[in-house]
Chain A
């Protein structure tokens, strides 16, 4: 079946450090891939997405590239800020249902 695997957290970084959160997927067909973010006390919101192979999603300095050959969609940011502290969820959807399958989430903690 379809599934998403992402690295366990928490990930703890100092401000301005480079961030990578790994995400790999298993899916039949050609999924769309997403990163959602949940800031403390807030609801889930879309961070970025990519709908086909080799697409790069980007937003707020974050990037992720849809790699079909490695079935990956790793999240990266060149210089994190304290305000990036949140839980990040990798997700996929397939077919025409838009049913999102989520990973378990990775908590990022950024310290000054």
Chain B
């Protein structure tokens, strides 16, 4: 597709279960980001992948959160042993290269609800 694609768009899970969220960036984009948007909060940076470089994981809130990017394209964000405070919209974004000031393109997000 033409844009950043995320799945699932909505996920309801029980507390303590693991969840996986998937992101397909725009074809050819080397940089990929995950952000979290909680109700009433801004966008919180989680992790950033750029080409073959080591990812910037500085925003991951705990060791229950991890992400990988296979083949420099698709990325999966995994949340283990989910907690209610993990409920949020998880946004993926991509950009063509690492030149500062580039436009970042966002997907529509995966809405996670932990019950």
Contact = CB atoms under 8 A, between A and B. Distances in A.
A98 B106 contact: no
Interface in A73-112: 89, 91, 93-105
Nearest to B59: A99
A10 to B, nearest CB: 12
B100 A51 contact: yes
Interface stretch (B20-28, B39-47, B62-70): B39-47
Q: Size range of the interface on A? A: 20 to 34
B48 interface: yes
B42 A98 contact: no
A94 B91 CA distance: 20
B82 interface: no
Q: Size range of the interface on B? A: 20 to 34
Contact of A44 (B50, B95, B106): B106
B42 A105 contact: yes
A69 interface: no
Nearest to A91: B43
A35 to B, nearest CB: 12
A40 interface: no
Contact of A32 (B33, B41, B101, B108): B101
Interface string A46-59: 10010100000000
Contacts of A89: 42-43
Q: Enumerate the 4 nearest inter-chain pairs by beta-carbon distance, A residue then B residue, closest first.
A: A104-B42, A32-B101, A51-B101, A102-B43
Given A32-B100, A43-B107, A46-B105, 12 more contacts: A42-B108, A43-B91, A43-B106, A43-B108, A44-B93, A44-B106, A89-B43, A93-B100, A94-B100, A97-B48, A98-B102, A98-B104
